[in-house]
Amino acid sequence: MARMTETLFLGPEIRAMRAYDGAFLNRFLGHAVFLGPVLHYQVSEKGFLTVAYAAQVIGHDRDPAFTDRALNLTQFARHNLRVRFGIEF
């Protein structure tokens, strides 16, 4: 993560997610890889705000009807936006 100002940071994020089904989560349904930027702002000494956007860049669906697709849009969204606010104590 690179420091842009004293309280603002910018960096990349990569997330790998997998989907399972079954009573014991023993049936693999597919996976997806998301990539995008993260913006972290230190609001105060103990408070922060993080905004992350990620787009699905790789995915695989185990369903035979969708195995030829490059993304897994059955279990995962194409775009992902996360906003996090936290206070340390």
φ, ψ (nearest 5 deg) of residue 44: -145, -170
pLDDT value, residue 12? 97
Other Cβ atoms closer than 10 A to 34:
22
Reported as a single tens digit per residue, the pLDDT across 4-23 is 999 999 999 999 999 999 99
Reported as a single tens digit per residue, the pLDDT across 36-85 is 999 999 999 999 999 999 999 999 998 888 888 889 999 999 999 999 99
